[in-house]
Amino acid sequence: MYTFWTVYLVLPVIVAISHARNLEELAKHYDVYAVEWMGTGRSDRPKFSSYELEYADAMFVDALEAWRKELKIHKFHLGGHSMGVLGIHRHLERYHWASGFSALFGIFNGLQCVARYAGPLGPALLRFIAFARVSVMPEMSCIHRGLIPKEALAAYWYNNWGLEKSGEIAMHSHLLPGVYAKKPLCVMLTPETIKVPITFMYGGGPDWMTASHGEKLAETFAGKQSVEVVIVPGAGHQVFMDNAPAFNELLLSALARS
């Protein structure tokens, strides 16, 4: 019997959603896998039978692990944005496959009900919201600059959230009122549970999550594990598209360090 294993001279990179303007540059240096969490985008949309945190975690994390096994990826760099960071942490805690962890912070939007219940007015409403949202993005944002058409953003929002609800259960299972995490990273990330290098990336512009949170967390790892806090100049909360060139450069540097 012969057993074949995939051997990587350079470890691949897995990123969870929202990286359209980063893939080309990353792919010059790494094999890159862009995945969408269970219940979002074009992934399967199963029915979630509970809003319990542990149940929802298992649904998201086990789906990612099943995908990893199917592709026989055994060591990799793992990056995520928004609430996906919580799912990535749980995957690392449970399975220990990754060799690096990049936490790219953001937050879900609240467009599900608008898209789902507006009927034939849904596309027009989402287009209006998209144009309004783009107007307050940093000037260097790839959407503000037209590199990603606003119409494409509106269509993505509508087609993502207009379908039957599924993955957005995470807003109920993982968040408290006021968009506070039920189990924040400062509680979950400890030197005892995470044994890989970590990089936190924050926007240096109007990012409503300040880098001070990551810096405090990094202090708890001092002398035990490599934890870096990186600032993307001029970027807001959507660091990967508000200043994509700087983000790409900083992310590649973080990957090289890990």
Domains of the chain by start residue, with CATH: 13-109+166-257 (3.40.50.1820)
Report the 10 Å Cβ neighbour count for 196.
16
From 75-84, 89-98, 126-135, 150-159, the region with the lowest mean pLDDT: 89-98
Measured on CA atoms in the order 158, 248, 226, 234, is the torsion positive or negative? negative
Residues in Cβ contact with 218 at an 8 Å cutoff, skipping those fewer than 6 apart = 200, 227, 228, 229
* Dist. CA 104–CA 234, nearest whole Å: 15
Position 251 scores a pLDDT of: 92
106-125 per-position pLDDT tens digit: 434 455 666 677 777 888 88
The tens digit of pLDDT for each residue in 46-59 reads 888 888 888 888 88
Quickly state the pLDDT bin for 27 (edges 50, 70, 90). Answer: very high
pLDDT of residue 105: 46
For 19-71, where are the alpha helices, taking DSSP H only? 23-27, 53-71
